[in-house]
């Protein structure tokens, strides 16, 4: 007894061949490999930009506090390779530690500065830094951002 032609057509078109499945898996692997590389670069860039924003905000806060004579004191930011601290006082060594706001940097990030002693001090009243200089935000897997402070205290990140 033979089956009608309609049943035979349905029986042949019931599944995928092994070749088709292998091709789909290969395409998915290629897409995943490409996207993971792009995502890691995106996360590194986002991490560096976040730290740059935090540091720039601390510098601007120190300048604002100093120029508005808040607490009748000078303000500054002290930078090490793994932390930065917004402080109140004429310098980091003689600061009032009660007002310290310390931020810890992710282990994959490093900070460098051109300021002597890593201390950026803003003058009371004018808000001018003791000198112009730069701060570099570096990620271990690549990418550098530079924060520039000019003689008038204008802070710019590029």
The tens place of each residue's pLDDT in the chain, 158 residues long, gives 566 665 555 555 678 899 999 999 999 999 988 888 778 888 888 999 999 999 999 999 999 999 999 988 999 999 999 999 999 999 999 999 999 999 999 999 999 999 999 999 999 999 999 999 999 999 988 789 999 999 999 999 98
Q: What gap in Å lies between CA 10 and CA 8, rounded to an integer?
A: 6
pLDDT at 9: 56
pLDDT at 12: 58
Please name every residue paired with 156 in a beta bridge, in sequence order, or none if there are none: 148
pLDDT at 13: 60
pLDDT at 59: 97
CATH numbers and ranges of domains, the chain: 16-157 (3.55.40.10)
pTM: 0.78
């Amino acid at each position: 007894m033979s089956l009608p032609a309609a049943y035979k057509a349905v029986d042949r078109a019931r599944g995928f061949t092994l070749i088709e499945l292998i091709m789909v898996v290969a395409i998915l692997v290629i897409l995943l490999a490409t996207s993971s590389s792009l995502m890691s670069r995106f996360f590194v860039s986002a991490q560096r930009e976040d730290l740059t924003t935090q540091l720039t905000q601390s510098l601007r806060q120190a300048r604002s506090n100093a120029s508005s004579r808040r607490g009748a004191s000078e303000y500054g930011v002290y930078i090490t390779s793994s932390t930065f601290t917004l402080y109140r006082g004429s310098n980091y060594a003689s600061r009032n530690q009660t007002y310290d706001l310390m931020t810890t940097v992710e282990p994959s990030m490093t900070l460098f500065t051109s300021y002597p002693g890593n201390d950026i001090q803003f003058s009371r009243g004018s808000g001018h830094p003791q000198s112009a200089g730069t701060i570099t935000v570096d990620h271990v897997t690549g990418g550098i951002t530079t924060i520039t402070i000019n003689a008038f205290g204008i802070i710019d990140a590029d």
